């Protein structure tokens, strides 16, 4: 598997082929029926996504305290954001969270998926691995909050038995974000592993057989065959989990609420605080829009850099 071929459309362009002639205009005869079929989904999309997004975009140019009418103030909110140290701190904290969360989670998920793929295909094992994902976020956060309590938590009791001093998981500003990230890794890694596992099953057995014939070691096979062929699935998983990761909110809301000091004031929590406890809805909308832009750019960059549309298996 040394030769890598690109998927047809990209190759055509890279070879300077002329673009395909425009397809004939299709008759609009099916339009009405088509409209009926897509209407329910479109309705939901417009009402719950498009409209709130447009309204949010509009509100980001206003001063709006929720309880009185919005007042247009141009780019003031964006200007304020540049000088708001809390905003920059929130972005930094969020990025720290995403790096720890996605990094750890992806490595663990691929590891678990590989173990499942190589050792067992038991449905029971899959179900157990998925179990944390089935527990509600808030419940997971609360249970861990209790277990990680400095003085009465079970985790610190265990640490005490093996001679480690108790750790202030949520209270220490250096530990708080890794702790929150760790909890979410615990909850999501099983689910992510299943996605990766599904990806592994799409890799045809003959490439492994070929590798075995060539005398490749397990380690080499993983790096040279499994990972490259898994790339399209991994990119999809990365994009989806990273967008979710940027939107970390509930774990913080039920445990540290932004503290200690500003250590866990992630961007979503800061937006929430501004909007619903400080009634600064215009400013909150502006930050939400910036977050939207950041996510769009991050996703695009990921798709580009990792050539998500191409498979090495062509």
Partner 1 sequence: MTLSRRTLLKAGLAALAVPSLAACNNGATARGQGEVIYWLWDSAQLPMYTECAKVFHEQNPQYSVTIEQYGWNDYWSKLVTGFISDTAPDVFTGHSSKYPLFAAKGQVLPIDEYVAKDNVDLGIYQKGLADRWIGADGKRYGLPKDFDSEVYFYNSAFTEAAGISTEQLNSMTWNPRDGGTFEQILRRLTVDSKGRRGDQPGFDKDHVKVYGLGYSDAGGGDGQTSWSWYAAINGWKYSEGEPWGTKFFYGDPKFTDTIGWWRGLITKGLMPKYAEAKSGVDVTTSFGAGKYGMTPNGSWMLGTYGQLKQVKTKLARLPIGPIGKRMSMMNGLADTIWAGTKRRDASWAWVKFLGSQTAQDIVAKAGVVFPAVAASLPAAKAAFAKSGWDVTPFLEPVEAGDVFPYPANPNAADVTAVMTPAMESVMSFEADPSSLIKANKDVNQILSVNS
Binding residues vs partner 1 (CB under 8 A): 31, 35, 39, 42-43, 46-47, 51, 65-68, 86, 145-146, 148-152, 166, 168-173, 175, 259-262, 273, 276-279
**Closest CB to partner 1 among 115 and 159?**
159
Q: Minimum CB separation from partner 1 for residue 151, in Å?
A: 5
**Closest CB to partner 1 among 97 and 169?**
169
Q: Minimum CB separation from partner 1 for residue 258, in Å?
A: 8
Contacts with 113 (C-beta within 8 Å, 6 or more apart), sequence order: 193, 194, 196, 197, 199, 200
Is residue 84 packed enough to be buried (19+ CB in 10 Å), middle (13-18) or exposed (0-12)?
middle
**Cα within 13 Å of Cα(275), Cβ side:** 17
| Residue 267 to residue 206: CA distance in whole angstroms | 47
What value, to the nearest 5°, has the Cα angle with vertex 75 and ends 70 and 80? 95
* Structural contact between residues 173 and 263, judged by C-beta atoms closer than 8 angstroms: yes
Beta partners for 71?
A: 63
Q: Minimum CB separation from partner 1 for residue 22, in Å?
A: 19
**Closest CB to partner 1 among 95 and 147?**
147
Q: Minimum CB separation from partner 1 for residue 262, in Å?
A: 5
First to last CA, the chain: 11
| Residue 107 to residue 205: CA distance in whole angstroms | 23
- Number of helical (H) and strand (E) elements in the chain, helices listed first: 15, 2
Q: Minimum CB separation from partner 1 for residue 39, in Å?
A: 7
Q: Minimum CB separation from partner 1 for residue 65, in Å?
A: 7
**Closest CB to partner 1 among 2 and 85?**
85
Q: Minimum CB separation from partner 1 for residue 166, in Å?
A: 8
**Closest CB to partner 1 among 20 and 67?**
67
**Closest CB to partner 1 among 226 and 264?**
264
Taking each helix axis from N to C end, the angle separating 137-147 and 173-201, rounded to the nearest 10 degrees, works out to: 130
**Closest CB to partner 1 among 143 and 300?**
143
Q: Minimum CB separation from partner 1 for residue 30, in Å?
A: 13
**Closest CB to partner 1 among 145 and 191?**
145
Nearest to 269 by CA among 286, 282, 287: 287
CA quadruple 30, 35, 40, 46: dihedral sign: positive
Ramachandran angles phi, psi of 140, nearest 5°:
-55, -50
């Amino acid at each position: 598997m040394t030769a890598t071929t690109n998927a047809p459309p990209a190759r055509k362009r890279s070879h300077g082929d002329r673009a395909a002639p425009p397809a004939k205009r299709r008759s609009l005869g099916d339009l009405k029926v088509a409209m009926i079929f897509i209407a329910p989904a479109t309705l939901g999309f417009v009402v719950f996504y498009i409209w709130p997004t447009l309204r949010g975009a509009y509100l980001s140019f206003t001063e709006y305290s929720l309880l009185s009418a919005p007042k247009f103030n141009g780019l003031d909110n964006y200007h304020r954001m540049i000088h708001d140290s809390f905003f920059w701190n929130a972005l930094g904290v969020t990025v720290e969270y995403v790096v720890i969360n996605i990094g750890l989670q992806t490595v663990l998920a691929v590891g678990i998926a590989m173990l499942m793929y190589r050792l067992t295909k038991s449905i029971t094992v899959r179900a157990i691995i998925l179990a944390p994902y089935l527990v509600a976020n808030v419940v997971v956060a609360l249970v861990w909050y209790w277990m990680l309590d400095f003085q009465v938590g079970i985790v610190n009791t265990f640490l005490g038995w093996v001679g480690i001093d108790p750790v202030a998981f949520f209270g220490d500003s250096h530990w708080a974000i890794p702790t929150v990230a760790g909890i979410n890794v615990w909850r999501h890694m099983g689910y992510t592993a299943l996605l990766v596992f599904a990806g592994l099953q799409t890799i045809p057995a003959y490439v492994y057989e070929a590798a075995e014939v060539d005398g490749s070691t397990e380690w080499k096979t993983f790096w040279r065959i499994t990972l490259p062929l898994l790339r399209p699935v991994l990119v999809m998983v990365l994009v989806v989990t990273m967008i979710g990761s940027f939107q970390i909110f509930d774990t913080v809301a039920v445990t540290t609420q932004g503290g200690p000091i500003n250590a866990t004031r992630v961007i979503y929590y800061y937006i929430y605080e501004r909007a619903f406890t400080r009634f600064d809805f215009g400013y909150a909308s502006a930050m939400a829009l910036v977050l939207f832009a950041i996510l769009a750019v991050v996703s695009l960059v990921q798709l580009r850099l990792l050539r998500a549309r191409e498979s090495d298996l062509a």
